[in-house]
Amino acid sequence: MEPKVEPEGVSRFDGLAYKPGELIVYSSPLSPQSAEAASLEARLGVQKIADLREPGWHLYRVPAGKEEQLAQEIVASGLAEYAQPNYSYKLLYTPNDPYYTTVDVTGSQELQFGFMGVENAWDELLPGGCRPIVGVIDTGVAYDHPDLIENVIGGYDFSDNDADPYPDVSDINNPNDSDTDNFHGTMVASIIGAETNNSQGMAGVTSNLAYIMPLKVFPNSYSSTIASAIDWAVDNGANILNMSMCIQDTDGTCADLTSSPDATIEAALERAYNSGVISLAASGNYDQSFVGYPASSQYTIAVGATDNSNPPERADSTVWGTGYGSNYGDDLDVVAPGTDVLGAVIPSPTDPEPYMWGYGTSFATPYAAGVMALYISQYYAYSQGSLPDPVTATNCIRSAAEDLGTAGFDIYTGMGMVRADNMLDTATNAYGCY
């Protein structure tokens, strides 16, 4: 990791989507305090409305339309060392026509689990493992779904600032409207942690060995909201974070922040990393030749998506349609299945146990996060009580991946397909995971 550098100056505004009338600033202990700061705020016409959980970070209200001008003035005045927009983030799935089912769908799951060696990994599990907590930073989780109810623990709604992270539902009879995306977090959570061997619906990758912590940040999915969710998850025991999202450009696709990450999110991710939390994020869905943010952060594992061919290949526009495909680039770490992935969605009075098919890096990422949870449990059992740090975990998922395409790393599939069986191999430790 690069040494920590305190942010300074003004971050990028051009071409990026952000919340009108708000700025996030960073003030060091050397910045003006109390009365002097209040005087500067009054002169500039800005108002501090919240302190973020990360020390030194504050949310300001400013006149809409003057965000960039006032960011410059805030820094020039000495009120803060750094200022940025309250960037807007979006989910990374590509809507399909909803497909609900209660029939046997293990064929598709069996294929995708086979690509990742999941069933073999289950056979390799040692006794005495732990149950990692996976924080799902998303639209909330329908914790009353029969396939999730036993594996979801308490979380928080940072979008509405309350203790109930259930997805927003405007129409109880049609809660999975693709126009709202509200089902997205429930799908992600179920890919990781749906109950397994319960004679219902689908199987989760973790086979009942992980808890889901719902961290609702949509629809108000801004830098401040997401950073607060990351910090809360760290403080409340999360071991893994799943982020199936990217910062968005003004045209609604992923923005390239490779050289200038969102400093607010980056500070929260750095704290998570230094606290031992392993973060995974989706590379993006727009067939772009760069990895979206936060997947491009040095503190996350970037996950791309494949199709269901054998051997799997990067999901591109021939699979997902014009303008869509798994983002790729030098920051990509690994890939996982992301085409026609099954997930649970929000129950309704007419369909109390609904499921849906979807595709996108949004759904490849929880596959990788679920495999990471299995690895943490195995590491805990093998080491008799220790947890892998993010460096060890990242090296493991990369070295244990099954190479696809060009030998070694390539920009389209990273180090290759996530392989749970290789990561859980304590007998030979061929991939240096233990």
Known catalytic residue at 171: no
User: Do residues 40 and 34 touch, judged by C-beta distance below 8 A?
Assistant: no
**What is the rounded distance in angstroms from the CA atom of residue 129 to the CA atom of residue 131?**
7
145 is a catalytic site residue: no
Q: Which of 11, 58, 88, 138 is catalytic?
A: 138
87 backbone φψ class: left, alpha, beta (φ>0; ψ -120 to 50): beta
Q: Is 138 a catalytic residue?
A: yes
Q: Which of 9, 18, 132 is nearest to 71 (CA)?
A: 9
Residue with tokens 């429930």: 186
Active-site residue (options: 27, 147, 184, 283): 184
Count other C-beta atoms under 10 Å from residue 306's C-beta: 26
CA-to-CA distance for 121 and 33, rounded, in angstroms? Answer: 55
- Tokens 């990360």 correspond to 54
Q: Catalytic residue among 11, 296, 297, 362, which?
A: 362
Q: Note the helical H segments in 215-289.
A: 223-235, 263-274
Side chain identity at residue 293, one-letter code = Y
The helix/strand/coil state of 368 is helix
Q: Residue 227: what residue type?
A: A
- Contacts of residue 61, Cβ cutoff 8 Å, sequence gap at least 6: 21, 22, 46, 47, 48, 49
What is the spatial order of strands in the sheet that 47-51 belongs to? 9-10, 82-87, 18-26, 57-61, 47-51
Q: Which residues have a catalytic role annotated?
A: 138, 184, 362
